[in-house]
């Protein structure tokens, strides 16, 4: 079951002056690989959020069903700059 998103505010600087960014935690899964789960998560974040500036993969786990790989799961912290 995906973790509930956790949000934190943080400051980020840009060349044009100070800006404010927000960090939210998301979880994504794929039946294929960790790399694919990361891509799924980044694609979803970009579809929902504006100004995504970075993603940090916090955790990885493999979900099993009776010893067989069910899916690959990643928990990621997504940073996006507020307007």
List Cα–Cα distances, 70 to 6, 29, 55, 63, 77, in angstroms. 25, 10, 24, 5, 23
pLDDT of 5 over the 80 cut = no
Average pLDDT (31-44) is 98
* Nearest Cα residue to 28 out of 7, 58, 49, 68: 58
CATH architecture, domain 7-81: 2-Layer Sandwich (3.30)
CA 28, 31, 34, 39 torsion-angle sign: negative
Residue 39 host element (H or E): helix 34-48
Q: Residue ranges per domain, the chain?
A: 7-81
Distance CA 46, CA 69 (A): 28
pLDDT the model gives residue 26: 98
Average pLDDT (11-34) is 85
Please state the length of the chain: 83
pTM of this prediction?
0.76
């Amino acid at each position: 079951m995906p973790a509930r998103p956790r949000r934190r505010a943080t400051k980020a600087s840009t060349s044009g002056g100070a800006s404010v960014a927000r960090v939210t935690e998301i979880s994504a899964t794929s039946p294929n690989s960790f790399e694919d789960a990361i891509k799924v998560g980044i694609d979803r974040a970009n579809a929902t959020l504006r100004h995504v500036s970075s993603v940090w993969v916090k955790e990885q786990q493999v979900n099993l069903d009776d010893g067989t790989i069910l899916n690959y799961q990643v928990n990621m912290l997504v940073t996006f700059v507020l307007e």
